[in-house]
């Protein structure tokens, strides 16, 4: 049994097969799929969040903490989704209050998709969290952001090979210019509708 499954079992949160996993029931019986954005600080999570949600955003403190989280709604490939931008985290084993909140969001909110945003220049340092998320059995999409900066310093990332090796969708993005964000929306849409 993975550490993730042990944690969710200990906290009484059930397994991945729970009928409410990854969705929020709203009035009229419709569902609102959840997409949670995670990653280290300063990798472009908020830029991607703003691109997905536009002006429909609320910022509030996570219950019982002083840590602010952003929530918004987006229509992705025809499906209404709730998007959450979590505080920066480096690992599922939290050290800071921000990391504890980000992990709690993954445990409690039980998203339909976890979008892990990483800095292309620091890929080697950031992939351990990707591997932890995959090992936890979460439905992960990896956005390798800041590809323009990575290329400018001579880093060449084969996202197709990376996707094959990890077994998850991997999208190259430059969030500040919008490069790759349409493809990212399509991949999110495929994941939330499956």
Helix 45-53 × helix 181-193 angle, to 10°: 70
Contacts of 6 (CB under 8 A, 6+ apart): none
CA dist 108 to 10, 86, 104, 147, 183, Å?
A: 13, 13, 6, 32, 28
Q: How does the average pLDDT of the chain come out, rounded?
A: 85
Give the residue with greater pLDDT, 37 vs 16: 37
d(CA 84, CA 105): 9
pLDDT at residue 10 is higher than 50: no
Mean pLDDT, to the nearest integer, of 21-47?
73
The residues spanned by each domain of the chain are 26-193
Mean pLDDT, to the nearest integer, of 27-52?
84
- Percent of the chain past pLDDT 90, that is, above it, reads 69
pLDDT at residue 106 is higher than 90: yes
Least confident segment among 24-28, 47-51, 92-96:
24-28
pLDDT of amino acid 78: 87
- pTM more than 0.85: no
d(CA 78, CA 192): 11
pLDDT at residue 14 is higher than 60: no
pLDDT of amino acid 31: 58
Please check whether the domain covering 26-193 is classified as CATH 3.40.50.300. yes
pLDDT band with cut points at 50, 70 and 90 for residue 6: very low
């Amino acid at each position: 049994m993975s550490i993730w499954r042990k944690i969710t079992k200990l906290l009484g949160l059930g397994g991945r097969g729970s009928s409410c996993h990854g969705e929020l029931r709203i009035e009229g019986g419709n569902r609102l799929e959840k997409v949670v954005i995670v990653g280290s600080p300063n990798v472009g999570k908020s830029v991607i969040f703003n691109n997905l949600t536009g002006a429909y955003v609320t910022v509030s403190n996570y219950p019982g903490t002083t840590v602010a989280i952003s929530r918004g709604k987006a229509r992705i490939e025809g499906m209404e989704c709730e998007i959450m931008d979590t505080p920066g985290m480096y690992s599922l084993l939290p050290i800071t209050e921000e990391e504890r909140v980000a992990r709690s969001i993954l445990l409690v909110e039980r998203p339909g998709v976890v979008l892990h945003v990483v800095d292309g220049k620091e890929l080697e340092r950031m992939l351990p969290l990707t591997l932890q998320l995959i090992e936890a059995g979460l439905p992960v999409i990896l956005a390798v952001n800041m590809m323009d900066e990575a290329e400018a310093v001579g880093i060449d990332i084969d996202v197709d090979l990376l996707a094959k090796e990890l077994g998850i969708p991997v999208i190259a993005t430059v969030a500040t210019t919008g490069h790759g964000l349409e493809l990212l929306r399509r991949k999110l849409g495929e994941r939330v509708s499956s």
